[in-house]
Structure 1
Amino acid sequence: MPPPRTRGTALRHQLAELRGPDVPAKALDARALAALAANPGCGRRALLDGAGVDKTALASALGSPAVFGQSQFALTRGNAFEAKVKADGGAELLRLAHAALDASAEPPVSAAVPDLTAAGPEGRTARTALALREAYTARGTPGTWTLLDHPMLALDVAGSPAFLEPDAVVVHPDGTWTVVEIKSFPMLDGSADPAKVGAAARQAAVYVLALEQVAAHLPVPPRVRHSILLVCPRNFSNLPTASAVDVRKQRAVTARQLARLTRIEEIAAGLPEGTCFAPGLPAEQLTAAVESVPATYSPECLATCELAFHCRARSREAGAVTTLGRSIRAELGGLSRVEDVLAAARGEEGDPGDPAVAARRRAAELRAEALAGAVAGDPVNLPREVTPCP
């Protein structure tokens, strides 16, 4: 068996070949990782994200472009708000962190903002780890806080490193670490849109996992706080306010789902020779390459994956019940195609002892009785027992 370094070099070379010659790798961010963890059974997304394939360009080349993403106006507004929060050496950000997370500690009287510049993501990751180690070593001085502005963290995902860049990380005087998420959606009367807060929590949970990997390499691992600091505009102003958000549940789910991901080299080993996802290739060749990697589509993919429209079309063509949603798929047991479900309901296929088959047949009987009653002019005389139709 080749040593790990040799295996890692071979894998990186193989992933570069999958992207195509001279095609730069697209960085895998925490938002994409959170979406990947929400659908760990999708080998297609795991491979394409791990290889750094630009799925937006790939979807356009396939004729199924993605239609979601932040507008340029939203990006500009978000960047301006983040700059305001971090102005004056992060004084306002540290004040918010003290008030929301660590009110019993000494208020920030001085702050260290280390320089995290370095060459490449590996260099920035090493520089971030060094800054965190130095801040942890200097803990214990009352009123001394450390702010890491856009640190670089690494997280192993299916055997391949993903480099992540949180908005900020705060090191408290007691040496504990906190992830900071700065968002441009408003916090009205102390609360924000639950859906947006949930998305921010899932994204921050990825950063927490990456920070825990850094902490594990220290002689005395510091505690990574599981309550992150969410900073948003207050009401309809541009003034920042903050709230502590507990991400323990999101962290546990993300860690479990990431652990379930099939290792990228295992997926890549099953691909046909010469498979390539370069957007400049003919559409027929790209379609064959994409279809050579198994996918697990669900309607939730439409909001998180650039290839969702392509996968949905293929799922509909195959008559897969996953097109209808995971909850319906879970109720149908071994019936994986719509055609199989209808055949089971008609009594043409399926084991009558299978609860899923028996439920479909009972639902078909009730539907037939209801329609017969309606045709007879007595629509009120319907069966009292109600079973969901497939």
Structure 2
Amino acid sequence: MPTPASRRRTRERLAELRGPAVPPRPLDARALAALAANPGCRRRALLDGAGVDKGALASRLGSPAPFGQSQFAIVRGNSFEAKVKADGGRELLRLLGVEDPGAVSVPDLSASGPEGRTARTALALREATAGDGWTLLDHPLLTLEVAGSPVHLEPDAVVVDPAGRWTVVEIKSFPMIDGSADAAKVGAAARQAAVYVLALERVAALTEGAEVRHSVLLVCPKDFSNLPTASAVDVRKQRAVTRRQLERLTRIDEIAEALPEGLSFDVQGRSAEELSAAVEAVPHAYAPECLAACELGFHCRSRAREEEAVQTLGRSVRGELGGLTTIGAVLAAARGGGGAPRASEAESSGEGGPEDPAVAALRRAWALRQEALAEAEAAACR
């Protein structure tokens, strides 16, 4: 268990890595969901934990990523959210299926600093659970410990019913057409909501009579209008996966302490060459999915391609190839030239050799390809 002194040392070390004059970029549920999807990437874990602006860092490295929303989309999203929460929360409760909620309590959650807001949210949740009416918490602030560091999370809303059940509400601007929305976007929203559920469960464990529902309310525009419609989304699977992945994350303090002194990701005070060297000092676990979830995805892809790493072909392919870690080694194994260089003990075990199932499958596929090419060439000559 980290001590207060070790936590303070970790915060100081992360501030050094980020740059003393650079304010930390806070993590959010979307980033945590993406981080949990790739728990083996030490690079992202460290940069997110240190609060480094990965978008600015990617631009300095020459590989900017097309992330972010347009100003028009942000304004439209804010307008839609205000419409959903209109009438003192009664409109949102109608979407939840409550036609006559009576008086709806909307407590003031403002406080000084994130710690104050977190404490105020926890108090409001306890008071709402002990009450006998409906309560709407507008943008509450929750805390979840990730890799030894606290992360503050802000869901769109949390509804507490008279029975003490807490429901997470996710408000999105993508449309729900004929009762269904884009599956990929719904999946991303479910993973994001699962992070909020995990954070709420920490508060519920200290609140008598509280229960966090694993069915969240997803609110979207109906068809092509600005009218809100809603659907319940079961996030039990996403919650279990996210919890397991977050628990497996390597501790940020261990990653930071392993780096050489003087290394920094300060995009304002370091040259592009220094930043590139700093980034390469931290191991990464690139996968094609990173392009849609991480600002450094294009930079990591470029490096993986330079190394001919099989990760560029996807996680499933990487898993099937076992000890063959480069595309060159894969082609050599398929042609019968052996696998990747490896230690003598690995060679004696047969891994990467002819008895390796991956090598045997590659050679069989290569032989079939050569037969098909020979048949095609013979047919063309006739």
Normalized against structure 1, the TM-score is what? 0.92
Deviation at 1:363, TM superposition (A): 1.2
Shifted more, 289-298 versus 118-127: the winner is: 118-127
Q: Deviations over 1:129-162 (max 9, x none)?
A: 1111111122xx2xx2001000000011111111
Q: Deviations over 1:75-94 (max 9, x none)?
A: 11100000111122111012
Alignment correspondent of 1:56:
55
Separation of aligned partners in 2, 1:302 and 1:354: 32
The list of structure 1 runs, each at least 4 consecutive aligned residues, that deviate by more than 3 angstroms after superposition, is none
8 Å CA contact 1:373–1:379 kept in 2: the answer is no
Of residues 313, 324, 343, the one that matches 2:313 is 324
**Identical aligned residues as a percent:** 72
Alignment correspondent of 1:171:
160
Give the SS at the match of 2:303: helix
8 Å CA contact 1:50–1:160 kept in 2: the answer is yes
8 Å CA contact 1:155–1:161 kept in 2: the answer is yes
Instruction: Summarize the alignment of residues 246-265 of structure 1 with structure 2, pairs less than 5 Å apart.
Output: 246-265=234-253
Amino acid at match of 2:211: R
Amino acid at match of 1:43: R
Instruction: Summarize the alignment of residues 340-359 of structure 1 with structure 2, pairs less than 5 Å apart.
Output: 340-349=329-338, 350-359=352-361
Deviation at 1:217, TM superposition (A): 2.2
Alignment correspondent of 1:154:
143
Alignment correspondent of 2:225:
237
Amino acid at match of 1:11: T
Alignment correspondent of 1:279:
267
Q: Residue 136 in 1 paired to residue 129 in 2?
A: yes
Q: Using a 3 Å threshold, how does the CA distance of structure 1 residues 266 and 29 change in structure 2: closer, same or farther?
A: same
Q: Residue 198 in 1 paired to residue 171 in 2?
A: no
Of residues 201, 207, 210, the one that matches 1:222 is 210
Instruction: Summarize the alignment of residues 76-115 of structure 1 with structure 2, pairs less than 5 Å apart.
Output: 76-97=75-96, 99=97, 107-115=100-108
Instruction: Summarize the alignment of residues 20-35 of structure 1 with structure 2, pairs less than 5 Å apart.
Output: 20-35=19-34
8 Å CA contact 2:164–2:209 kept in 1: the answer is no
How many residue pairs align between the two structures?
Answer: 368
Q: Using a 3 Å threshold, how does the CA distance of structure 1 residues 368 and 78 change in structure 2: closer, same or farther?
A: same
Deviation at 1:377, TM superposition (A): 2.7
Separation of aligned partners in 2, 1:7 and 1:366: 58
Amino acid at match of 2:112: A
Amino acid at match of 2:94: R
Instruction: Summarize the alignment of residues 66-81 of structure 1 with structure 2, pairs less than 5 Å apart.
Output: 66-81=65-80
Of residues 303, 306, 321, the one that matches 1:314 is 303
Amino acid at match of 2:136: L
Give the SS at the match of 1:245: strand
Give the SS at the match of 2:219: strand
Amino acid at match of 1:112: S
Separation of aligned partners in 2, 1:23 and 1:273: 18
Q: Deviations over 1:39-87 (max 9, x none)?
A: 1110000010011111011111111111132222111110000011112
8 Å CA contact 1:370–1:379 kept in 2: the answer is no
Q: Deviations over 1:221-250 (max 9, x none)?
A: 611000001111112221111111111111
Amino acid at match of 2:77: G
Alignment correspondent of 1:211:
200
Separation of aligned partners in 1, 2:228 and 2:379: 64
Give the SS at the match of 1:377: helix
Deviation at 1:202, TM superposition (A): 0.7
Amino acid at match of 1:89: G
Separation of aligned partners in 2, 1:115 and 1:351: 66
Give the SS at the match of 1:108: coil
RMSD, aligned CA: 1.5
Amino acid at match of 1:241: T
8 Å CA contact 1:297–1:308 kept in 2: the answer is yes
Separation of aligned partners in 1, 2:68 and 2:326: 32
Alignment correspondent of 1:388:
none
Q: Using a 3 Å threshold, how does the CA distance of structure 1 residues 379 and 128 change in structure 2: closer, same or farther?
A: farther
Deviation at 1:379, TM superposition (A): 9.0
Alignment correspondent of 1:42:
41
8 Å CA contact 1:158–1:264 kept in 2: the answer is yes
Deviation at 1:337, TM superposition (A): 0.7
Q: Which runs of 5+ in 1 are unaligned?
A: 381-390
Give the SS at the match of 1:252: helix
8 Å CA contact 2:333–2:359 kept in 1: the answer is yes
Give the SS at the match of 1:177: strand
8 Å CA contact 2:129–2:209 kept in 1: the answer is no
Give the SS at the match of 2:93: helix
Q: Using a 3 Å threshold, how does the CA distance of structure 1 residues 16 and 115 change in structure 2: closer, same or farther?
A: same
Alignment correspondent of 2:368:
366
Separation of aligned partners in 2, 1:338 and 1:178: 48
8 Å CA contact 1:171–1:177 kept in 2: the answer is yes
Give the SS at the match of 2:212: coil
Amino acid at match of 2:244: R
Amino acid at match of 1:129: A
Amino acid at match of 1:248: R
Deviation at 1:195, TM superposition (A): 1.4
Separation of aligned partners in 1, 2:324 and 2:287: 16
